[in-house]
Amino acid sequence: MTDPALDVVEFLLTAHTYTEEEELDDGDLPPRIRQVFWSDGAIERPLAVTQDRARTATSVDHPWDAVSDLLFTQRTEFSGEMSLTQPGMALEWYLDRADDDRLLTNPTLAFAARDHDEASVTRQEARDDNQPVQADRVWIDSLLEEYFDDEDDAEMLDLVHILAPEEIEMTLNDLVLTEDQKDEVDKIVTAIENRDYLASIGLREIGKILFVGPPGTGKTTVSRALAHELGLPFVEVKLSMVTSQYLGETAKNVEKTFEVAKRLSPCILFIDEFDSVAKTRKSDEHAALKRAVNTLLKSIDDISLVRDEVLTVAATNHPDQLDAAAWRRFDEVVNFPKPDRQMRSDILRIVTREMDIADFDPDGVAEKTEGLTGSDLRMVLREAVLQALTEGRRTLQQEDVMKAVQGFEERDNLKNMDMIDGEGAAVGDGGSGHDHDHDHDN
């Protein structure tokens, strides 16, 4: 349980210390505090603590009431600003109550406590454990507002979907990966952590990865979880948008996509539906779109994890449609197959961690769900939960899950059935198996 007084005193101390110590920068402020002081894309001293800012940063409904009886706090009646009358006393009070785990989240106060025996956390340790400013939603929005200041650039926002790490709920611990996928994730993390060394030995053309596999096997999800794990902005581009007819000046927009990634660096640039490249390159109808695709391939050539701090990940459901020019842009190719029985069982265990299921047998469900992807399994469990709720139950039975499996397969089989005799209209795309995309989990 949090202590409102401790939360507000930490906020006041952080604002005071940051204002007084010029060597501290944006990266020394915890995200929850950093965000309330953003103005026009920057944080400027002095940091004035108002009731609204304190309420937003601490989630304490009545910040002044929480600290009004402390000897070292004051409030200006006219402006309502809160401040410290005796910062040294406030720091001693705070350190008597805050443990190292709390101090590890606040580099500014780790710096302030550097000469106190009560604290064993260094400023650098806290900075290493703190979310960088480039990962803040407010920082991302301020940069985009600055960059897209022209109405002509508004079309560009239709091409990119940008997530801050704090907005990504899925983590790598929530995923079931193959050994090859785990190895690749480890290599990516290692490369990012050793960018300076790689540059020093001349290895700059790395960090361009192609994810290959059917929809629903986790290509997008793994990329997002990696962004969450590394604390990096996630810039997603769907190539079907690039090749859409209604977009004008597509080649220029492609260039802007990569420019956004470079400006948001370090970040992950995720290019979805990469097989759209092949489809466009084979078409004789749209010269402008062909130029856009050529621009895309050149842009991939020109971007670098080491030089630009942008990890480029492309995903395709149809690797057979990619030509040699597309393949050779990537230094790593990672396969995302449909999960085998053991992986399906592990996925079911993870997804049901917070569910109440009586006598649940994930191995039994896995045995009956061959061909289903991780995304499919999540849909099955969602259907089982909703069905139980309609019957007034929050405890699931194994039977609920098995019925949901059967219902999913029956519905999925409709994709290959003609609903109208004659020429008819097929439900879905008429493809084979489970070639669909659920919740971007592809």
Domain segments of the chain as ranges? 4-130, 135-335, 341-416
CA distance 170 to 111: 32
The whole-number pLDDT of residue 277 equals 67
Q: Are strands 267-272 and 310-316 parallel, antiparallel or unpaired?
A: parallel
CA distance 251 to 259: 13
* Tokens representing residue 397 in the block: 């039975």
CA distance 362 to 356: 13
Residue 268 has phi, psi (to 5 degrees) of: -110, 125
The CATH number, out of the four listed (3.40.50.80, 3.40.50.300, 3.40.1130.10, 3.40.50.20), of the domain defined by the range 135-335: 3.40.50.300
C-alpha separations of 198 from 188, 190, 192, 226 in Å: 13, 10, 9, 20
CA distance 153 to 396: 50
Please, what's the b/e burial string for 244-262 (b: 16 or more CB within 10 A of its CB; e: otherwise)?
eeebeebbebbbbbbebbb
Residue 26 has phi, psi (to 5 degrees) of: -55, -35
The whole-number pLDDT of residue 149 equals 66
The topology under which CATH files domain 341-416 is Helicase, Ruva Protein; domain 3 (1.10.8)
C-alpha separations of 254 from 40, 79, 260, 371, 436 in Å: 27, 48, 10, 36, 26
What single-letter amino acid sits at 311? L
Taking Cα atoms as reference points, which of 105, 100, 129 lies closest to residue 11? 105
The whole-number pLDDT of residue 151 equals 63
* Tokens representing residue 280 in the block: 């466009």
Q: State how far Cα 441 lies from the chain centre.
A: 13
Bridge partners, residue 39, by sequence: 42
Ramachandran region, residue 40 (left: φ > 0; alpha: ψ -120 to 50; beta: rest):
left
The whole-number pLDDT of residue 223 equals 96
pLDDT tens, residue by residue, 65-105: 999 999 999 999 888 899 999 999 999 999 999 999 999 99
Q: Are 358 and 398 in contact (CB under 8 A)?
A: yes
Nearest-5° Cα angle at 250, 264 to 311: 30
Q: Could you give the dihedral angle defined by the CA atoms of residues 341, 345, 351 and 357, in that order, rounded to the nearest 10 degrees?
A: 130
Q: Which residues fall within 8 angstroms of residue 138, CB to CB, at 6 or more apart? A: 34, 35, 38
Q: Are 281 and 293 in contact (CB under 8 A)?
A: yes
Q: For the chain, which residues score pLDDT lower than 70?
A: 1, 149-158, 241-250, 277-286, 288-289, 413-442
